[in-house]
Structures are given as structure tokens and as C-alpha cells.
Amino acid sequence: MIPIAKPLLGKEEIDAVTKVLSSGMIAQGPKVEEFELAFSEHTGCEYAAAVNSGTAALHIALLAHNIGKEAEVITSSFSFIATANTILYTGAKPVFADINPDTYNIDPERIQEKITSKTKAIIPVHLYGQSADMKAIMEIAEDHKLVVIEDACQAHGAECHGKKVGSFGTGAFSFYPTKNMTTSEGGIITTDDREIAEKSKMIRAHGSKVRYLHEMLGFNLRMTDIAAAIGLVQLEKLDGFNAARQKNASMLSAGLKGVSGIVLPATKPGSTHVFHQYTIRAKKRDKLADFLKEKGIGTGVHYPIPIHKQPYYIELGYRDSLPISEKAAEEVLSIPVHPAISGDDVQKIINEVKEFYATA
């Protein structure tokens, strides 16, 4: 089976974890601090605060910016549920803007239409590993004095006009095992704002900077040194992992070019796409997925139901019409692109997709 995702963990990660286990300091300690420094440098940011998931990173970033009740936050409905749920956690209201049909990222013009006197923040998602249109989004944010929190959970190392994602606004990354790099579970907040960094570190630890002195309401959302030790090794491998994803993606695109029935992923000028997913639009999508599964190729639908159509959001009263997001949800299919697949695997994927449309 060629899986849709697989973390690449080697002897270096195992040795790093063993060292931490032998040290006796297995909760948040010096490795977390070391990881924060290394990750902020890689992102081109001044500060980083490591936490225990990407969801925690988004949640804390919102709280650190004082987003709460009465606020509206504009984001994409075509994303993983965490993007919008973290807005709900704060008491604020997610407001969905439709996407660009080629990049699947939030459309700046649609953002403009959703701004009201209550709008406090925008959360663009860099979906599948490609940056949203950060130039346009930062301009809108500046004009309307809005906070920008980047959901960079799928885009470690991606750039927009030579600048890394997570360095435009406040960044939120995930290190879940399927992402471009992993710490097992984990996440991080990146920022150039010292106050946001300090507040984030307090919120992750029960609102406390000095032990047993609690200045605000916080949580326990800390990263462990075990996770950070894995992250330090993975971060060194990240650029190589991304290069392998890009190589696989260009082989897939070259091999699948011209196949009728599918639309290949588009990389927009000025973007470096790090291909968290290689996602096509496919006619007879579900039949293609079944066919590939039979041939030993794993696929994924990211995502089959836009957030505004999820049962819980319907219950909350969401009745949006977001036709581009809704159409994408019916047509997209992700096929393996991760660094654990071989050139032969890529060729097999190309052959089987062609075979399906030749006989379909």
C-alpha cells in the first residue's frame, strides 16, 4: 500500500528522545526553548511559543490578541474544522468567506465583503502547503486595523514573495504526524511581537510567568521536551522533506498533464508550494478513490464537508452559500506526494490514474 501520509522518523529522532528520557526532564524544559529558537529562526520571526497542538496554537493566538465575545473573525470554510472551532472557543463568531477556485485559499475580495464593525481578525489558511494571497490580505488588515493570524498548519517553510508564512501576521503551525514535519502531537505560535509571545507562553501555562502566580486565565497546553527533541531533528530535515515533496509534485504534474477528467494543482506566481497535499479536482472522484485503493494507493479528501455545512455549525444557525468551497468539497482528491514514496511509486500513481480515465 502506498499510504496518503507517513511520518519519516529515523535513528536521529530515536536517539534524541532517548536522551531526553534519560535526562529526567520530560515535561516542558530546555528542549522546548531550544526548539522555539530554532523554529523562529527558520520562519524568520523574532519569537515562538511551542504548544501541544496546532489547535492550541490557533486558540492561544486568538486569546493573546484579545479576540473574544462580540468579535467576528473572517476565515475559510474550506479547511480542517480546527480553524473555525478555535474561534468558537474564544466566544467570537467565525464568518466564512469563499475561496479562490484555483488555489483553494481564501479570496481577498470575498474577505472585503464580509467586514463589519465587529470584525477583529482574519485567519487565512495556507491550504495544502501554498500561501494565501498575503499581500492583499495584509493590505486589507492594515486598512481596517484587523489582526491577522495565519493558519500555517499545512505550510511549514512555504513562502509568499520570498517571505515565510507565519511571519506576516501571528503564525500558528501544527506538528501532527501527517504534516510536513512532526513532533508527534505539537504546535507553535510565531510572532515578531514580544508581548504576544509572552502572553502566549502564559496562556499555555495557566496564565503564569512566575510559578504559582496567576495573572490571567490560562490552560495547560504545553509542549513536552520529548516532543521538542523530535521537532529539533525534524526541523533540520524540513527543507529536504519539502524539496522531496516538490520533486514528487512536479513528477506527478508532468505525468498527469493533459489527462482529461482532472485538474492539476496550480502554483501561483510568487509562491513556493510545499505540497502538504497534492490535490487534484477529479471527475468521478469517489470512483477514482475506490479504484486507486484497489490498486494499493491511498488517497484522501481534504475536505469532504465545508465547515459551514458541518452538523454542529448548522445547529449554530449557519446557512451560508459558499459555492466555490462547496464545489471543491465535491471534487477534490489528494494523492500521495510525501517524501516516503519512491519514484516508482509516483510512476505507479500516474499510471493508475491514467488507466482509470482511459477506461472510465
Nearer to ligand PLP, 79 or 119 (CB): 79
Q: Which residue minimizes CB distance to ligand PLP?
A: 54
Nearer to ligand PLP, 227 or 232 (CB): 227
Nearer to ligand PLP, 174 or 271 (CB): 174
At its nearest, how many Å lie between ligand PLP and the CB of residue 57? 8
At its nearest, how many Å lie between ligand PLP and the CB of residue 344? 29
Nearer to ligand PLP, 150 or 225 (CB): 150
Print the SS3 string covering the chain: CECCCCCCCCHHHHHHHHHHHHHCCCCCCHHHHHHHHHHHHHHCCCEEEEECCHHHHHHHHHHHCCCCCCCEEEEECCCCCHHHHHHHHCCCEEEEECECCCCCCECHHHHHHHCCCCEEEEECECHHHCCCCHHHHHHHHHHHCCEEEEECCCCCCCEECCEECCCCCEEEEECCCCCCCCCCCCEEEEECCHHHHHHHHHHCECCECCCCCECCCCCECECCHHHHHHHHHHHHHHHHHHHHHHHHHHHHHHHHCCCCCEECCCCCCCEECCCCCEEEEECCHHHHHHHHHHCCECCECCCCCCHHHCHHHHHCCCCCCCHHHHHHHHHEEEECCCCCCCHHHHHHHHHHHHHHHHHC
What residues contact residue 311 under an 8 Å CB cut-off, 6+ apart?
none
At its nearest, how many Å lie between ligand PLP and the CB of residue 85? 9
Nearer to ligand PLP, 45 or 153 (CB): 153
Nearer to ligand PLP, 130 or 174 (CB): 174
At its nearest, how many Å lie between ligand PLP and the CB of residue 126? 8
At its nearest, how many Å lie between ligand PLP and the CB of residue 279? 13
Residues making contact with ligand PLP (CB under 6 A)? 53-55, 79-80, 82-83, 125, 151, 153-154, 174, 176, 187
At its nearest, how many Å lie between ligand PLP and the CB of residue 11? 25
At its nearest, how many Å lie between ligand PLP and the CB of residue 54? 2
Nearer to ligand PLP, 82 or 244 (CB): 82
